[in-house]
Structures are given as structure tokens and as C-alpha cells.
């Protein structure tokens, strides 16, 4: 009898502890963006901060509201980098990036473009790379870099410059992506706050 009573009460107790996904999702997103802001896109992050970001990142991945991000029109836009574990993209040990680091994605043309401004001894120089996207499925795409530009000078990317992006979370204002080298990327829609 006690077991039957317990089995009947468990669903009620579970309902009390259930947090609606949109409420917890919003709180997790806000906390993630706050930590990302505190660590200057990852430039100044400590091991503990990186671990905290990873845990929040993984929580959001489990709450992904878009099951096939690359098939959703939500992915097509310009996204601003808020955090990454990629030292190369952050420019660690290199000339500083000034202003936003942006990535534009267009799955209708299967293209992407990354742009940034780098300060070379105080001289601000725009840099960009264009790429073709080769979707593997609704979440994962291979990337073939096509052309690099530094200021007015452009050159074709070597054929071996390839990678992949796994879009593991997408909503109307945030995208989480894992790169082929294990790097994490937290991006927000660039025009959302404009």
C-alpha cells in the first residue's frame, strides 16, 4: 500500500520541481552572457570561468529549441562573438582585435563570412575571410575557406583550410557552436540590440 501511495505522489512532486524550459533557458542565457562579458570574449578567462561557461553552454545545448538549426531561417544573419575558447580567433599573443568579431551565415547561398578589425601598432585594419558551407546534416556543416582579406589586400585560401561547425543551440537571439578543433563559440544576433 505504501508503495502504491508513493508511486501516486511521485508525479506530483516531479511537477513541483519542474521549471518550464523557457524560464530556465532565459536565466541560463543571461548568466552565460554575463560571464562571457566578464571575461572579454575569453581573453581574460580563468580555468574556473571557462568551466562555468562550459557547464552553462552544455545546459543550453540540452534546451535547444531548434532541432535542425541549419535548416532554420533563424541561422541566416550576422552574429557577434561573445566568447570562444579559440586562442587564434581571440588573437591571444597577437595584435589585439578591436570592436566586434562578426560571423555572417547564409544557408540559402551556403556561404559564411568572418570579419574583425585588428589594431597593428594603433592602425586599425579590417580583416575578413569568406567560406563555403557544405552541410552534413541539419546541425553540422563542413566549412571550406575561400578568400582572406587584410585591408585592401585579398588572397585565395589554400585548399587545406577547412573545418566544420556544429550548431548545437539556436534561438532568435543566440547561437552556440562547436568547432572541429573542440572550440566553443557563443554568439548573439548582431542586429538584435541595434
pLDDT, residue 19, reads 44
Give the pLDDT score at 50. 98
Q: Which residue has the cell 562547436?
A: 178
Instruction: Give Cα 111 to chain centroid, integer Å.
Output: 17
pLDDT for 184: 98
Assign 130 to helix, strand or coil. strand
The average pLDDT across 38-52 equals 97
Task: Please report the pLDDT score of residue 22 as a whole number.
Answer: 56
Quote the CA–CA distance of 179 and 163 in Å, as a whole number.
7
pLDDT band at residue 191, thresholds of 50, 70 and 90?
A: confident
List of residues 6+ apart from 21 with CB closer than 8 A = 63, 65
Task: Report how far residue 192's alpha carbon sits from residue 174's, in angstroms, rounded to the nearest whole number.
Answer: 10
Amino acid at each position: 500500500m505504501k508503495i502504491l501511495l508513493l508511486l501516486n505522489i511521485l508525479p506530483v512532486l516531479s511537477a513541483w520541481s519542474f521549471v518550464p524550459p523557457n524560464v530556465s533557458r532565459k536565466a541560463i542565457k543571461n548568466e552565460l552572457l554575463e560571464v562571457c562579458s566578464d571575461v572579454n570574449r575569453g581573453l581574460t578567462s580563468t580555468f574556473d570561468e571557462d568551466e562555468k561557461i562550459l557547464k552553462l553552454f552544455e545546459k543550453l545545448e540540452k534546451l535547444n529549441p531548434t532541432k535542425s538549426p541549419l535548416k532554420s531561417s533563424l541561422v541566416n544573419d550576422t552574429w557577434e562573438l561573445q566568447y570562444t575558447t579559440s586562442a587564434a580567433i581571440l588573437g591571444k599573443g597577437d595584435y589585439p582585435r578591436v570592436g566586434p568579431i562578426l560571423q555572417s551565415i547564409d544557408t540559402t547561398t551556403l556561404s559564411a563570412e568572418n570579419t574583425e578589425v585588428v589594431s597593428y601598432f594603433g592602425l586599425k585594419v579590417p580583416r575578413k575571410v569568406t567560406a563555403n558551407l557544405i552541410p552534413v546534416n541539419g546541425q553540422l556543416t563542413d566549412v571550406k575557406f575561400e578568400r582572406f582579406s587584410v585591408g585592401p589586400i585579398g588572397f585565395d585560401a589554400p585548399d587545406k583550410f577547412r573545418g566544420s561547425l556544429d550548431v548545437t543551440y539556436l534561438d532568435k537571439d543566440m547561437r552556440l557552436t562547436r568547432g572541429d578543433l573542440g572550440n566553443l563559440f557563443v554568439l548573439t544576433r548582431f542586429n538584435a540590440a541595434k
